[in-house]
Every structure is written in C-alpha cells, then in structure tokens.
Amino acid sequence: MRKIVIAGNWKMFKTQAESLEFLQGFMPSLEHTPEDREVVLCVPYTDLYQLSKNLHGSRIQLGAQNVHWEDSGAYTGEISGEMLAEIGTRYVIVGHSERRQYFGETNETVNKRLLAAQKYALTPILCVGETKQQRDVGEIESTVTKQLKQGLVGVDQENLVIAYEPIWAIGTGDTCEAVEANRVIGLIRSQLSNPKVSIQYGGSVKPNNIDEIMAQPEIDGALVGGASLEPDSFAQLVNYK
C-alpha cells in the first residue's frame, strides 16, 4: 500500500502568531481524518520551531521548504538538514518550481539537496513538472524524465515523496485535468525503481476538485499552496471522500 500524503506548502505566508491561529482552527477537524492519511505542513523557517512545540503529540507532521546540501558552512541564507531535524522537522520540499524559476535551482542542486535531506532522515518531497510552453510543444515526458533522472542520482527511493506540479497549474486556478495528472503520474512511477513511492499532484488543488483528484488510482496525495492557508479549506482537503 502506498501512503497517502496531503501536504500544505505555505510558501512565504504566515507569521508565528498567524501559524498558531491556523493551528487552533485546524486541529479539531483532524478528529475524523482517516488514520492512514499523513497530514503535513511545510511552513516558513520562522514558524518551524513554534509549530514543532505546539504539534507535539499531534498527527500533523512538520515540513520545511528547502534544505542546503552541506552540514554547515559559509552559506548565507541557507539552512542545514541537521538544523531542521533537530527541531522535529520530518519532511522537506526540494526543487519546487518557484525555487527553480526564481532562485536558480537546477536538477544538480536538487539532487544534492535530496541527498542531504535523507542524510538527516528527513523525507524529501521532490517537485517536478513542465511549463505551459513545454506542454504545448509536447515536452511533458522529456521534461519530467530529465528532472527525475538527474534529480534522483543516488537517492534512496525508500524515503521519498514526489509531487507532480505542472507549473501552469500553480496558483492559477487552472487545475490539470485529474485524468491527465493521473497519466503523467503513472509515467513518473514507471521510471522509479521503487513502485511504492507516494506521488502527489499539486497545482490549484481546492475543496471542489480534491475528491476527483484523489479518486485517480495513481495519485497518492496533494501538495497544496493557497488552499492550505485557511483552516477550513485545508480541513476539507485532508478530509476528502
């Protein structure tokens, strides 16, 4: 059985005070969430410690949004796997398209970050996906294949989650058709050595489309931006039918 992982990616949203307010509103809705669903919040660095203290004993797992490949050193603005693990972080997003687009992330640096995350027993969530232009010219498969091939060199597929996030669907309200997302995710799975890796879909996942997305046989969860910021909408996502 593949694990179902519903993860919120808060991106650069929420102060500590706002993160605690979210928690208060969100926690009660987990009462009826099926046990076999992993619920993850990938939050800004400044929220990690505060949430870690407040999540103690709860079923919500804490995630970060990036990790550097060195253990320590002169890398201004970066954070190490050891620092994240020390405060109870369990997941870390690696290679999000916003990192690739705005901060020069490449498949090579993504690979180094994945290895560093695993060194500290963090579960990396590797993001892959094509641009609108790549989709239009029929380069979905080749783009995703290259991201996987170069990103996964030496990576342990026993401790890995992948998120298929077509870039044109992120923050646009333009969700990828569930059947099409299922097709690409099947293709991703066919390139893995471990068929049990959980593969999420991400890109404008909302309460009104989560049921259809999660009904697809290849899709094992969701990586959610905007709709993870409000307790009510994230609650509807983790409690999908």
Return d(Cα 227, Cα 147) in angstroms, integer.
26
3-state helix, strand, coil in the chain (%, to 5): 40, 15, 40
Residue placing its CB nearer to ligand 13P in the complex, 71 or 211: 211
38, 96, 130, 218: the active-site residue: 96
To ligand 13P, the closest distance from the beta carbon of 7 in angstroms equals 8
Whether 165 is catalytic is yes
Minimum distance from CB of 72 to ligand 13P (Å)?
28
Q: Report whether 154 contacts 122 (CB < 8 A).
A: no
**Residue 240 · residue 210 · CB < 8 Å:** yes
- Among 5, 40, 39, 38, smallest CA distance to 161 is for 5
CA distance 189 to 117: 21
Q: Specify whether 70 is catalytic.
A: no
Joined together, the tokens standing for residue 203 give: 């890109």
Q: Closest distance between ligand 13P and the C-beta of residue 94, in Å?
A: 11
**Least CB distance from residue 229 to ligand 13P, whole Å?**
9
In angstroms, the CA 137 to CA 125 distance is 27
Kindly tell me which of 76 and 143 has the beta carbon lying closer to ligand 13P. Answer: 143
Binding site for ligand 13P (CB under 6 A): 9, 96, 165, 170-171, 202-205, 223-227
Kindly name the residue from 38, 98, 130, 165 that is annotated as catalytic.
Answer: 165
**CB neighbours of 135 closer than 8 A, spacing ≥ 6?**
166, 168
| Shortest-Cβ-distance residue relative to ligand 13P | 225
Q: Nearer to ligand 13P by C-beta: 13 or 49?
A: 13
Instruction: Decide: 167 and 200 in contact? Cβ < 8 Å.
Output: no
Whole-angstrom distance, CA of residue 175 vs CA of residue 181: 9
Residue 120 has what DSSP assignment?
T
Residues belonging to the active site: 96, 165
